[in-house]
Structure 1
Amino acid sequence: MGNIHVKDRRRKCSNHQNNITLFRPTDQEPILSDTDGRLLTEVWSRLKDDIHKVGVITFVSLFETHPEVHDAFMSFRAINTSELEYNAILRQHALRVMGTVDKCITRLDNREKLRELMAELGIRHKNYSVKIEFIDLMGPQFISSIKPHLHHIWTEEHERAWENLFRLMCYHMKKGMCSIQD
């Protein structure tokens, strides 16, 4: 049946009392290999000119698959998802997110800067009352947005590299969110 008497030592980290996500800031940092870094840099150089499009596609996709995330954005909560790709505020936010991905890729050789960037971003998102469980949703949406543009070179290794990058980014972002008290 399991050991129900064993105490869960994970830190409860959440923005809302009724919605608790368990996250252990003491867990080992996700691994991103040198090979992952090389693959990410290679793919990113191909995508860089179209990052504004990728960002918008990522967010529209995210809102279609997870409407609760759309509702969390005060700036365009009332706008229909099908009209969002033309919304200037969404376009600006999407470009900022893609800029963050770019910064993370350029900081692969300086992991401390990457950690600081993502932890600070986590703190800002906590201050905006973003639910910690939303953080992990961005990576899969981003990957499914870029795959069609790269079908001629895309491999399982590319997919794994992007998954590893987003795991690392999300880990430090959530760590930042957990660093400040509710």
Structure 2
Amino acid sequence: MMGCFSSKGHFQSPQTSDAQPVTSEEQHEIDTAITEDPPVIEDHQKKLLRKSWLILQNDISKVGTVTFIRLFDSHPDVQNSFMPFRGLSNKDMESSAILRSHALRVMATVEKCIGRLDRPDKSALILTELGQRHSDYQVKPEYIPLMGPQFVLAIKPHLENVWSEDMESAWLTLFQLMSYYMRQGLYRS
């Protein structure tokens, strides 16, 4: 769900007339998300992320597309929140210019976060604003954290020569951090 810098029209349009009041369960989730501390990326994880990102850059379009196809396979409700992808088969999505474009925007967001590992305040600002933009498309907060595990599954074959549990943990932590700030933006909108 991350990376939607200029993808107006790719998510379901806001339906303000059907807006539902926030339930007590949703309010609890909002309060918890806003008061929790963000995940911390340790120095050794930063090294692993930078090293593996250099390798991934050669296949970034494919990685992004595979990430979304895996996400849609495992969570069809997420696919339905993207109007252009409703009812499309995996084969149709693999050749979709719209999916490739959105996937590349997500990968650009990942790249920005990798480039700002030593400036978490800069990543926080970018990701919070991105979360606010996603609220325009009524993205459900629970969709945001689904991207990280699918990304890890998509990159693992590209990194099999250097893959480790520590590398997996580093990528999951990065996506947890990204999800944290995006959800902050969603909740504050």
Change (3 A) 1:16 1:113: farther
Aligned counterparts, 1:79-98, within 5 A: 79-98=88-107
Is structure 2 residue 87 aligned with structure 1 residue 78?
Answer: yes
Aligned partners of 1:179, 1:104: CA distance in 2, in Å?
Answer: 21
Shift of 1:77: 1.5
1:6 aligned residue: none
**Which structure shows the higher helix fraction?**
2
Name the counterpart of 2:77.
68
Q: Per-residue CA shift, 1:89-135, capped at 9, x if unaligned?
A: 00000000001000000011111110001001100111111111000
Matched, 1:44 2:82: no
Q: How many residues get paired?
A: 166
> Which residue of structure 2 lines up, in the alignment, with residue 124 of structure 1?
133
Instruction: Please give the TM-score of this superposition, normalised by the length of structure 2.
Output: 0.83
> Which ranges in structure 2 are unaligned for 5 or more consecutive residues?
1-18
> Deviations 1:60-102 (Å, cap 9, x if unpaired)?
1111111110000012213223310100000000000001000
2:166 aligns with 157
> Which residue, 93, 106, 115 being the options, matches 2:124?
115
Over 3 Å counting, the alpha-carbon distance change for 1:81 and 1:18 in structure 2 is farther
* Match 2:146 to one of 134, 137, 144: 137
SS state of the match for residue 36, structure 2?
Answer: coil
Structure 1 position 17, deviation (Å): 4.8
Q: Which has the higher Rg, Structure 1 or Structure 2?
A: 1
Q: 1:147 aligned to 2:160? A: no
Give the distance between the partners of 1:90 and 1:126, measured in 2 at CA: 20
Moved over 4 A (4+): 15-21
1:34 maps onto 2:48 in alignment: no
Which structure has greater strand proportion? 1
Cα-Cα RMSD: 1.6
CA distance in structure 1 between the partners assigned to 2:94 and 2:125 by the alignment: 31
What residue ranges of structure 1 are gaps of 5+ in the alignment?
1-14
